[in-house]
């Protein structure tokens, strides 16, 4: 799992993930995700290259959404593949994490 | 096609399981969607076993059997860890707000939703969890 971060205009942090959010991938991104969630109020996550999302990855997203939300901010993910989108829906996580089709929509919803 | 993999009791073994599954799916011509569901359910089940099944260490025996026929795949996890019935684990409550959302408990929910059937038994000192997935 590779994780890249970039600061966009308007104080938005964009995280790009590449790989599997399985137990190994989730352990690799958990600490940087926590740091970003405690620092930024507007966070978007590019899921385009996430080929697998397990419940351990869902935990990372929910924890992050809670941290950002408690500070009055928002977390949005965008362009997850069909399987990841279905995991986000079955767990109900899509009711607390914004799931958007593309980067522009994600930026819009956190701004 | 029937195949079996024996896993050690460390979370790094999940990657080995996933590589093995990818080969079996390819050999058995398993459609992508079913393959994704089988992989996810086994990841959840094996992660639980490795994380909680052997609190005192000991000689862990963890095996996954995969039987693929024309219209169904059967995945079975057998281990000699402490008796643990994942079907007795309460599902995560439906998420209603950011403040009250639980951080975990999603694994069992996914296993129930993505498999066609799921059965558990404990016999002879072994947990046996069997999940089926339609392929047609």
State the pLDDT at residue B103: 79
Distance from CA of A35 to the nearest CA of B (A): 17
Say yes or no for a CB contact (<8 Å) between B98 and A66: yes
Does residue A65 sit within a domain? yes
Model pLDDT for residues A54-106, shown as the tens digit of each residue: 999 999 999 999 999 999 999 999 999 999 999 999 888 999 999 999 999 99
Q: How many domains does chain A have?
A: 1
Instruction: Indicate the length of chain B as a whole number.
Output: 136
State the pLDDT at residue A90: 87
Helix residue ranges per DSSP H, chain A: 23-39, 55-70, 82-90, 103-110
When the pLDDT of each residue in chain B is averaged and rounded to a whole number, the result is 92
State the pLDDT at residue B87: 87
- The burial class, CB within 10 Å (0-12 / 13-18 / 19+), for A80 is buried
Exposure letters B72-92 (e unless 16+ CB within 10 A, then b): ebbbbbbbbbeebebeeeeeb
Say yes or no for a CB contact (<8 Å) between B99 and A95: no
Residues of A in contact with B14 (CB under 8 A): 22-24
CB of B98 within 8 Å of a chain A CB? The answer is yes
Which of the residue ranges A81-95, B68-82, B88-102 would you say has the lowest mean pLDDT?
B88-102
CATH number for the domain harbouring residue B9: 3.30.565.10
Say yes or no for a CB contact (<8 Å) between A52 and B36: yes
CATH number for the domain harbouring residue A27: 3.30.750.24
- Separation of alpha carbons B113 and A88, rounded Å: 12
Does residue A111 sit within a domain? no
Q: What domain range is B115 assigned to?
A: 2-134
Cβ-nearest to B104 among A54, A59, A87: A59
Does residue A110 sit within a domain? no
| Beta carbons of A69 and A40 less than 8 angstroms apart | no
Q: What domain range is A43 assigned to?
A: 2-105
Whether residue B32 is predicted with pLDDT greater than 90 in this model: the reply is yes
Does residue A61 sit within a domain? yes
- Separation of alpha carbons A107 and A87, rounded Å: 22
Cβ-nearest to A92 among B36, B95, B107: B95
Q: Which of B37, B41, B103 to mutate to test the interface with A (most CBs of A within 10 A)?
A: B103
Q: How many domains does chain B have?
A: 1
Residues of A in contact with B92 (CB under 8 A): 91
Does residue A29 sit within a domain? yes
Say yes or no for a CB contact (<8 Å) between B40 and A83: yes
| Half-sphere CA count of A65, side-chain side, radius 13 A | 26
Angle at B103 between CA B91 and CA B77, to 5 degrees: 50
Does residue A11 sit within a domain? yes
- Separation of alpha carbons A3 and B113, rounded Å: 29
Average pLDDT over residues A2-27: 95
- Separation of alpha carbons B70 and A60, rounded Å: 37
Cβ-based neighbours of B23, under 8 Å, separated by 6 or more: none
Highest-scoring range by mean pLDDT, A23-32, A38-47, B104-113: A38-47
Say yes or no for a CB contact (<8 Å) between A91 and B96: no
Whether residue B94 is predicted with pLDDT greater than 80 in this model: the reply is no
Residues of B in contact with A55 (CB under 8 A): 44, 104, 106-107, 109-110
Say yes or no for a CB contact (<8 Å) between B103 and A66: yes
Which residues on adjacent β-strands are paired with residue B77? B64, B129
């Amino acid at each position: 799992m590779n994780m890249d971060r970039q600061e966009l205009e308007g104080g938005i942090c964009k995280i790009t993930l590449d790989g599997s959010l399985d137990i190994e991938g989730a352990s690799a991104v958990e600490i940087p995700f926590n740091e970003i969630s405690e620092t930024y109020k507007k966070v978007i996550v590019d899921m385009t290259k996430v080929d697998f999302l397990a419940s351990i990855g869902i935990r990372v997203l929910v924890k992050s959404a809670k941290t950002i939300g408690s500070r009055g901010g928002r977390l949005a993910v965008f362009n997850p593949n069909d399987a990841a989108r279905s995991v986000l829906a079955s767990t109900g996580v899509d009711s607390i994490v914004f799931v958007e089709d593309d980067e522009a929509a994600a930026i819009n919803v956190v701004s | 096609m029937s195949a079996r993999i024996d896993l050690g009791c460390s979370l790094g073994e999940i990657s080995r399981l996933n590589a093995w599954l990818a080969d079996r799916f390819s050999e058995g011509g398993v459609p992508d969607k079913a393959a994704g569901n089988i992989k996810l359910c086994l990841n959840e089940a094996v992660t639980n076993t490795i994380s909680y099944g052997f609190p005192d260490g000991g000689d862990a025996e963890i095996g996954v059997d995969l039987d693929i026929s024309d219209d169904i795949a059967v995945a079975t996890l057998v281990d000699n860890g402490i008796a643990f019935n994942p079907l007795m684990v309460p599902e995560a409550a439906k998420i209603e707000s950011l403040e009250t959302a639980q951080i975990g408990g999603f694994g069992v929910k996914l296993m129930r939703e993505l498999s066609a059937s799921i059965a558990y038994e404990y016999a002879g000192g072994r947990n046996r969890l069997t999940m089926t997935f339609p392929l047609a």
